[in-house]
Amino acid sequence: MTPSYKGRFAPSPTGDLHVGNAWVAVLAWLDARRHGGAFVLRVEDLDEARCRDAYRQAMIDDLRWLGIDWDEGPDVGGPAAPYEQRLRRESYERALEHLRSARELYPCFCPRSRLLSIASAPQGLFGDEPRYDRRCLRLSDARRSELAASKPPSLRLHVRDDALITVDDRLLGRTTARPAEGGDFVVRRADGVIAYHLAVVVDDHAMGVTDVIRGSDLFPSAFRQVYLAERLGYAPPRYAHVPLVVDGDGRRLAKRQGDLSLRALREAGVRPQRLVGLLLWLAGQADRPEDISLREAVGAFDLVRVPRHPIVWRAAYTAWLQGNGDL
């Protein structure tokens, strides 16, 4: 048992949770409970323009339907409250001030059109995004003042070229990379919204999170977040990046795929034990899918058995959940 273990699930209320979200939530909850640890529900609602109150409540309802509970969260409180990021602005501003006083930040005035046109694309971990060319890092103070008079800047973290970060992922193993290969990244957007990387690092530290289980698409983010945690003087959590649930074309499931939302499955009469049993089978925890509650699954759960390859969601899985056919 690991009494000091604290895990978390941190969804964004931009739509209904789907089976891909349930997959991550179930694995994170089971690992925490298997280690005798605590579990936190955090709502990542920084971008208030895209978030909806109705989705916040629906997330809580869907997770409780699955059998997931939490020791700290927006509806139960806790020592690190509030657990909604839109209410935690003061914490992020303190972190920004720390970075600013250490001369780790610089304003960026580049419009989105320019950022999208930058030709210098990194390789490896950060190959899916253009690397910022540090144009605004080289601006004089006078030029910055001139630009700031007509356009609010974003804030970027200047990532040191020689910094090496090692992530010892519980599923993917030990990897060492230079976060600078992905370029200097934004920690506060030009519209004032705090960027994901800063918020998640500050919140995980403030909430005492020791273990983060999340989708493998966020594996590159771990190197930036560990680097940022070090700049802020934090000890980073342990990571485990689990495979994504994808459709038949290999695309990550999205909230717009309403037929795979937990709300739609509930309305179709699917029992939570049936969905849990299917997810556990896909996670390598059972020889065949069969109805089981999350509580019943805790004792035998072992994260190491989770596959490393993407989980392809087939139409037969949805049919089986609804009692139509065998697998």
Q: What is the pLDDT of residues 1-22, one digit of tens each?
A: 455 999 999 999 999 999 999 9
Express as a percent the part of the chain with pLDDT over 70: 96
- Active site annotation includes 151: no
Give the integer Cα–Cα distance in Å for 164 and 160. Answer: 9
Give the integer Cα–Cα distance in Å for 246 and 284. Answer: 17
Q: Please give the average per-residue pLDDT across 86-112, as a whole number.
A: 96
Pairing of strands 185-188, 154-157: antiparallel
pLDDT at site 45: 94
DSSP 3-state assignment of 200? Answer: helix
Q: Is 255 annotated as a binding residue?
A: yes
Residue 130 has pLDDT above 80, yes or no: no
Give φ, ψ of 154 to 5 degrees. -85, 170
pLDDT at site 144: 95
Lowest mean pLDDT among 230-239, 254-263, 269-278: 254-263
Four-residue CA torsion sign, 86, 265, 312, 291: positive
Q: Is 9 annotated as a binding residue?
A: yes
Q: Please give the average per-residue pLDDT across 283-287, as a whole number.
A: 97
Q: Is 199 annotated as a binding residue?
A: no
pLDDT at site 324: 86
Beta-ladder partners of 174: 168
Domains and CATH numbers, the chain: 6-85+200-321 (3.40.50.620), 89-198 (3.90.800.10)
Question: What predicted TM-score, i.e. pTM, was given to this entire model?
Answer: 0.93
Q: Is 109 annotated as a binding residue?
A: no
Number of Cβ within 10 Å of residue 138's Cβ equals 9
Q: Is 196 annotated as a binding residue?
A: yes
Per the residue annotation, which of 255, 263, 266, 271 is the catalytic one? Answer: 255
Residue 122 has pLDDT above 80, yes or no: no
In degrees, rounded to 5, the angle at the alpha carbon of residue 73 between the alpha carbons of residues 68 and 75 is: 95
Give the integer Cα–Cα distance in Å for 174 and 189. Answer: 32
